[in-house]
Amino acid sequence: SDRLAKYERYRRLDPDGRWGSIDQYESILDPAPNLVRWIEEE
């Protein structure tokens, strides 16, 4: 799947979570993520 490939790529490039959050990487695989609408501020 695309999400699995993305997760594996992130973990390969940043295995220790130095440049991103491991929790965020793990959330890529969440089957029901909590999505929040982005509102651009002007």
Q: What string of pLDDT tens digits covers the 42 residues of the chain? A: 899 999 999 999 999 999 999 999 999 999 998 899 999 998
In a domain, 1, yes or no: yes
| Residue keyed to tokens 């491991």 | 22
- Asked whether residue 12 is assigned to any structural domain, the reply reads yes
Is residue 42, in this structure, part of any structural domain at all? no
CA angle 41, 10, 39 (to 5 degrees): 10
pLDDT of residue 40: 95
**Number of folded domains in the chain?**
1
Query: Which ranges in the chain belong to alpha helices (H)?
Result: 2-13, 22-27
Quick one: tokens of 23?
């929790």
Domain containing 4 equals: 1-31
- This prediction's pTM: 0.72
Residue holding tokens 């993520």? 33
Token reading at 22: 């491991």
